[in-house]
A and B are shown apart, each in its own frame.
Chain A
Amino acid sequence: GQQVMQIPQYQHVQEGEDFTTYCNSSTTLSNIQWYKQRPGGHPVFLIQLVKSGEVKKQKRLTFQFGEAKKNSSLHITATQTTDVGTYFCAGTGRRALTFGSGTRLQVQP
């Protein structure tokens, strides 16, 4: 079945450092979404990527979709304490949405 793997599972950074999480799918995806879940909260949609090789930016966040549409990454420049949470990628293939295992980001002030 469709599997989406995400690394790292956990990252602890100092405020101001950069952060990247990577997402890999076992199958080609139609599109990929990214969500953020704050501690104790629910996933909140960040962005969707559709085209091969697509790059989108939201302020300090940069999202990429691989050329083969099987991988994606989220890069945060100069992290802030408000970036704390778990970041999930979610791919659409055969099923509506398969979530990756998530990367939990901790930011030390």
Chain B
Amino acid sequence: DAGVIQSPRHEVTEMGQEVTLRCKPISGHNSLFWYRQTMMRGLELLIYFNNNVPIDDSGMPEDRFSAKMPNASFSTLKIQPSEPRDSAVYFCASSRGLTLPYNEQFFGPGTRLTVL
């Protein structure tokens, strides 16, 4: 079975440009998570969805960040406008659910974003 799929794997952009990261969760998984990983801040939960509905977006750093999940098989994380401090690896993860025993998370390979 395919795992969590993220695209692109690498993105280099210039400050001020819009960036869109994409994620396809594992089929049958109802919960989807977006994380950001940096050396300074570690692994941070940005937002998560359950049954396509955003549950908690308190980790989204600011209004420049937005996330959508239009259907069960696709989610996007958008940064507009991007800034150099947004450079990080962005992971998408999915799980069957939010509660035991379905809450084991499966991570995608990540998108390495560099904002110049």
CB distance from B90 to the nearest CB of A (A): 11
Interface string of B94-114 (1 = CB under 8 A from A): 000010110111111110000
Interface SS of chain B? strand
The bracket for how many chain A residues form the interface is 10 to 19
Are A97 and B104 in touch, CB under 8 angstroms? no
Total contacting residues, chain B, CB less than 8 A: 25
Question: Which residues of chain A have C-beta atoms less than 8 A from B14's C-beta?
Answer: none
Are A96 and B43 in touch, CB under 8 angstroms? no
CB distance from B76 to the nearest CB of A (A): 19
Residues of chain B having any CB pair with chain A under 8 Å = 31, 33, 35, 42-45, 48, 55-56, 58-59, 91, 93, 98, 100-101, 103-110
Residues of chain A having any CB pair with chain B under 8 Å = 31, 33, 41-45, 48, 50, 88, 92, 95-102
